[in-house]
Amino acid sequence: METLKENQAAYYPGCALLTIDRAYNNSSKLVSKKMGIELVEIPDYNCCGIGEMKSKGAVSLYLPLRNMTIAKSKLGSKDLVMACSVCYHEFTRSITKVKENKKLLDEVNLILKDADEEEYAPEGEARHILEFLYNEKGPDEVKKNTVKPLKGIKVAPYYGCLYTRPSMYTFADKKPNLDNSEKPHFMHDFLESMGAEVVSYGNEVQCCGGRNVVQDEETSFTLCSQTLSKAKKAGADFLVVICPKCAGALDVNQPKIVEKYGEDSELPVVYLTQLMALAFGFSEKDAQFSDMISNPLKVLKEKGGFI
Amino acid sequence: MAEEHNKNSVRPVAEKGEHIIARHLIDDDAIKEEKNLVIDGVDVSGRWNTFIETRVDSEYDRSFFDEIQKTVVGSRINRCWQCGMCTASCTVTPLYRRFNPRSFIYMMQLGNLKQLKKYVDVAWRCVGCYKCSQRCPKQVNPAEMMEALALLIKKYFPEEIKSKHQLTIDEEVKKIYEGMILGHGRLDLANLHTSAMRKMGKTSELLSDKDERGAIFKMMKDGRALSVLRLGKPHKWHKSKDAIDKYLQNTGTLEQESQV
């Protein structure tokens, strides 16, 4: 068994981050390393279920928990860090459910045994990268690492749903080190530490409709256009996200949203870690801004001095 | 509306039950309007002629309730005391007024299949934002109760799924997810998207490159659309697949019955 060093953390990439949202994956690793933590991917990960397997009983718990057993047996880590809010939700949900219900724990362990995997002991936590970096390092460290302050850039932080909700799974509002579910502020603090101006626009914890974005894009378009236009009206240059599903709905679909709801909904979307990478002195190529569909590079060029 | 009335200066014929507060909460066929009604010798026609059918249901089915309670997603149905906090905080309700989680949970508690059937066309629209579960004072977890509802619909109204286009699509997309996640252990998002588009008959949208900033075109160019090559598959996933299948075939609950 490989054991992690003190400055390393077990990391669950998830399917989106390894493929379409590689920019989020790479920039998360870059900024973590810069702040002194190396994210080490667990070997042989499997999909968390992305919220689509919940009607399959203990199977929906097996999917995330198999990864927890791998983190423990292969990297010696009880905890697992992840950047995707949907994965985070699936992990916190599973961990909480089997802690509360011995019968479900037994069912999951039965599947694990049949699948020739390690047994799961209910311990350890799933940690969202934002919460992880906030608690392990904090805004002061972000400020210290900022070499290119984001002066003159107005940002609208978008937390979405599953980063804090529901606190029956995440324990937001309940554990003192976690964010507030109605009025989260960790991203605000990070962005201000980098010198950006945070705007308030009222849709910070609203839903993007991402869950049904494939089969019901109209609903998602409506919800997204509300968020994008409110942020734009508040003067934001960027909408800042921490979830690939939100990015899928707000960024990837943005050309279609603009086509339907007009230019009020046209606003570049970036990941928090991309802006952090930029502030920490990495190039726009390292931060992979060009991967975003909503064209954040154009704004960065206009602002001058950033790329 | 008021402006329109002034313009035409003639009051339009009253809509059925239009004086009822929160009219959208009541089904059309539950409203009874009497043209000439005399009660105890008093003529009550006019404004006082509208009645709402009584909804007393004395033949509810407890076995149905147990069926839901045995599922992972519906295990807390007994806790709901119908306060309506879920509907009040719902993301979907303002967009689709007939989507009412509180009411769905009530129908599930009573085993009122007849009533539930009327809402099959909107019941699938939950976006999973978990605002309801966050605010529910009894930790019912209404967001997951909507998953339990989907299980019920699958078992009791399979013909509705087949006959309603959007439900068929929803079902097909869920099957694609399932095939990838359980079959391969990982989700190939680009493939998911293109397969779903094909199922929805939108293949032409996939091929058109009229919008150069369009996501698909861009991802083809930068290679992300072919990401499956990078994604791979977990080592010995077939063992997990077999173990999962075995579990699902033996649960003896709604979750098993809804397997295809």
How much is the ipTM here?
0.95
pLDDT digits (tens, 9 = 90+) for B16-34: 777 777 777 788 888 888 7
Do both A250 and A188 map to the same domain?
yes
Do both A143 and A290 map to the same domain?
yes
In a domain? residue A265: yes
Q: Among all residues of chain B, which has the CA nearest to that of A18?
A: B231
- For the segment B153-160, the average pLDDT, to the nearest whole number, is 92
Query: How many pairs of residues across A and B have Cβ atoms under 8 Å apart?
Result: 185
Could you give the angle at the alpha carbon of B24 between the alpha carbons of B23 and B27, nearest 5°?
Answer: 90
- 8-state DSSP, B259: -
Q: What percent of chain B has pLDDT over 70?
A: 89
Do both A99 and A227 map to the same domain?
no
Do B181 and A47 count as a contact with CB atoms less than 8 A apart? yes
- For the segment A46-58, the average pLDDT, to the nearest whole number, is 95
CA–CA dist A298, B175 (Å, integer): 39
Residues of B in contact with A15 (CB under 8 A): 186-189, 231
Q: Which residues contact A6 (CB under 8 A, 6 or more apart)?
A: none
pLDDT digits (tens, 9 = 90+) for A117-160: 999 999 999 999 999 999 999 999 999 999 999 999 999 999 99
Do both A19 and A109 map to the same domain?
yes
Q: Which one of A44, A206, A207 has the shortest CB-CB distance to B235?
A: A44
Determine contact, residues A131/A179, Cβ cutoff 8 Å: yes
Q: Which one of B170, B187, B253 has the shortest CB-CB distance to A57?
A: B253
In a domain? residue A3: no
For CA atoms B36, B39, B41, B47, the dihedral sign is: negative
pLDDT digits (tens, 9 = 90+) for A176-193: 999 999 999 999 999 999
Do both A113 and A145 map to the same domain?
no
CATH number at residue A214: 3.40.50.11810
Do A47 and B248 count as a contact with CB atoms less than 8 A apart? no
With tokens 């704004």, the residue in question is A299
Determine contact, residues A148/A262, Cβ cutoff 8 Å: no
Q: Taking 90 as the threshold, does the pLDDT of residue A276 lie above it?
A: yes
pLDDT band at A30 (very low <50, low <70, confident <90, very high): very high
In a domain? residue A1: no
Do B133 and A166 count as a contact with CB atoms less than 8 A apart? yes
**H helices, E strands: number in chain B:** 16, 4
In a domain? residue A216: yes
Do both A61 and A202 map to the same domain?
no
Do both A120 and A153 map to the same domain?
no
DSSP string, A83-99: S-HHHHHHHHHHHHHHH
Residues of B in contact with A57 (CB under 8 A): 71-72, 247-248, 251, 253, 255
- For the segment B28-42, the average pLDDT, to the nearest whole number, is 82
What are the backbone angles phi and psi of residue B236, rounded to the nearest 5°? 45, 45
CA–CA dist A277, B199 (Å, integer): 39
Q: Which one of A45, A66, A252 has the shortest CB-CB distance to B240?
A: A66
Query: Nearest CA to B250 among A107, A50, A160?
Result: A107
Two tokens at B44? 């009550």
- 8-state DSSP, B112: -
Do B131 and A181 count as a contact with CB atoms less than 8 A apart? no
Do both A147 and A289 map to the same domain?
yes
Which of residues A64, A94, A128 is at a domain's end? A128
pTM for this structure? 0.92
- For the segment B198-219, the average pLDDT, to the nearest whole number, is 72
Q: How is domain B62-163 classified at the CATH fold level?
A: Fumarate Reductase Iron-sulfur Protein; Chain B, domain 2 (1.10.1060)
Helix or strand run (H / E) with residue A219:
helix A217-233
Identify the domain containing residue A156 by its residue range.
Answer: 138-303
Range name among A88-102, A119-133, A262-276, B226-240 with the lowest pLDDT average: B226-240
CATH number at residue A79: 1.20.1050.140
**Interface with chain B: mutation pick from A47, A63, A288, highest number of B CBs within 10 Å:** A47
In a domain? residue A276: yes
Do both A282 and A151 map to the same domain?
yes
What Cα–Cα distance (Å) separates residue B8 from each residue in A267, B12, B13? 43, 9, 13
In a domain? residue A26: yes
Q: What are the residue ranges spanned by the domains of chain B?
A: 2-52, 62-163, 166-257
Calculate the CA dihedral of residues A183, A189, A191, A197 and round it to 10 degrees: 80
Residues of B in contact with A167 (CB under 8 A): 134
The number of distinct structural domains making up chain A is: 2
